[in-house]
Amino acid sequence: TDPQRIAVIPGDGIGVEVTAAARQVLDAVAQRHRIPLSYQEFDWSCQRYLAEGAMMPADGLERLRPADAILLGAVGWPGVPDHVSLWGLLIPIRRTFRQYVNLRPIRVFEGVVSPVRGARPGEVDLVVVRENVEGEYSEIGGRLGRGTPEELAVQEAVFTRAGVSRIVDYAFALARTRRSYVTSATKSNGIVHTMPFWDEVVAERAAGYADVRWDSEHIDALAAKLVLQPERFDVIVGSNLFGDILSDLGAAVAGSIGIAPSANLDPTRAFPSMFEPVHGSAPDIAGQGVANPLGAVWSAAMMLDHLGHPDAATDVVAAIEACLLDPATRTRDLGGTADTRAVTDALLRHLV
């Protein structure tokens, strides 16, 4: 059979380092499971922007289109405004390829010390299902009276029935494969047009999953509960903004944002899905070879799963678990001293 085509965008800073690690791990596990993969690398990044004035070429999205999946490192660099780097690359990929699900698993692994006292290894295991293409991250808005004392800026949040329904359906279907419990993040007491609509659609869709328990929490209280009782949650479904906040907070609760993976999925499979660690390009440690590659590696495991190789994915996650159990193969963000190389080698040893 033809190999599955992976488009690789290492991006900026530690994105380059962790993507290299993830590729090595992919090679090892692909060999073990006889999965034919082919790669095409794209140097789209802030470096490219600074040199050529665009994060990616004009036909960039066209070139990604035939890929079976996209593996991304991290995007962003000092001197390039975030809205340039992200809206010139990451966000267009998410939107053009209708990657309407952003999936962000959060686990406290054995060997990792959570900053939260009650978050014991093995007990915290949740997934944030984040709506990824509409909501608060809208291009609709602008300014009035620029530069005047009366200046104002407006921004429209847009929620569609179709958009909310499909993300809620995804969350409930996912919950069925887990502990059958969904929590919806809302703020209908303060954001009185879009959030009551979100609540209504959630309630309607939930009615189709009588076997799944569910509740709804305001984002302020939910953020607090994620710290107070993280073990309580199974699947949390939230809007673009709320999912973003909860998944970063959750990654902190899990012990390090360096471990946290994410999948930007088009569940219809009409377009390639994209897999990226939650962490950014980390200019402060870039180029030193000390970045934690586990977020990128776990993201690669999610990619394998999406591409139809659940056993290979399971092997990679098992290698991550083994690696975290050994103090000698934990990176600095986890209180260890291992560098990216040492962690990658350990993963490869577990995968032979």
Ligand X SMILES: CC(C)[C@H](C(=O)O)[C@@H](O)C(=O)O
Tell me which of 115, 190, 208, 335 binds ligand X, using CB under 6 A.
Answer: 190
Q: How many residues bind ligand X (CB under 6 A)?
A: 5
H-run or E-run covering 104 = strand 101-107
Cα 40 to chain center, whole Å?
21
Compute the least distance from the CB of residue 322 to ligand X, in Å: 28
Compute the least distance from the CB of residue 23 to a copy of itself, in Å: 27
Compute the least distance from the CB of residue 163 to a copy of itself, in Å: 8
Among 105, 101, 169, 170, CA closest to 135: 101
Compute the least distance from the CB of residue 268 to ligand X, in Å: 21
Compute the least distance from the CB of residue 284 to ligand X, in Å: 17
Backbone angle region of 56, left / alpha / beta, with phi > 0 → left and psi within -120 to 50 → alpha: beta
Which residues of the shown chain bind a copy of itself in the complex (CB under 8 A)?
76, 82-83, 86-87, 113-118, 136-137, 139, 141-143, 148-162, 187-198, 219-221, 223-225, 227-228, 240-241, 244-245, 247-249, 251-253, 257
| CA 46/CA 79 separation, integer angstroms | 9
Residues 27 to 86 in contact with ligand X, rule: CB under 6 A? 86
Compute the least distance from the CB of residue 119 to a copy of itself, in Å: 9
When the beta carbons of 247 and 329 are compared against ligand X, the nearer one is 247
Q: Which does 153 bind (CB under 5 to 8 A by kind): ligand X, a copy of itself, none?
A: a copy of itself
Q: Which does 197 bind (CB under 5 to 8 A by kind): ligand X, a copy of itself, none?
A: a copy of itself
By CB under 6 A, residue 12 contacts ligand X: no
Using DSSP's 3-state secondary structure scheme, residue 127 falls into: strand
Which DSSP string do the residues of 213-277 spell out, in sequence order?
A: EEEEEEHHHHHHHHHH-GGG-SEEEE-HHHHHHHHHHHHHHTT-TTT-EEEEE-TT-SS-EEEEE
| CA 77/CA 3 separation, integer angstroms | 33
Q: Which does 115 bind (CB under 5 to 8 A by kind): a copy of itself, ligand X, none?
A: a copy of itself
By CB under 6 A, residue 189 contacts ligand X: yes
Compute the least distance from the CB of residue 284 to a copy of itself, in Å: 13
Using DSSP's 3-state secondary structure scheme, residue 3 falls into: coil
By CB under 6 A, residue 244 contacts ligand X: yes
Q: Which does 83 bind (CB under 5 to 8 A by kind): ligand X, a copy of itself, none?
A: a copy of itself
Backbone angle region of 180, left / alpha / beta, with phi > 0 → left and psi within -120 to 50 → alpha: left
Compute the least distance from the CB of residue 128 to a copy of itself, in Å: 11
By CB under 6 A, residue 315 contacts ligand X: no
Using DSSP's 3-state secondary structure scheme, residue 327 falls into: helix
Scan for tokens 């799944």, then name that residue. 212
In the DSSP assignment, the letter for residue 348 is H
In the DSSP assignment, the letter for residue 150 is T
CA geometry: angle at 11 spanning 171 and 247, to 5°?
Answer: 30
261-265: strand order across its sheet: 37-41, 4-11, 69-74, 273-277, 261-265, 101-107, 125-131, 235-238, 181-186, 213-218
By CB under 6 A, residue 139 contacts ligand X: no
Tell me which of 43, 123, 200, 220 binds ligand X, using CB under 6 A.
Answer: 220
Note the residues at the interface with ligand X (CB under 6 A): 86, 189-190, 220, 244
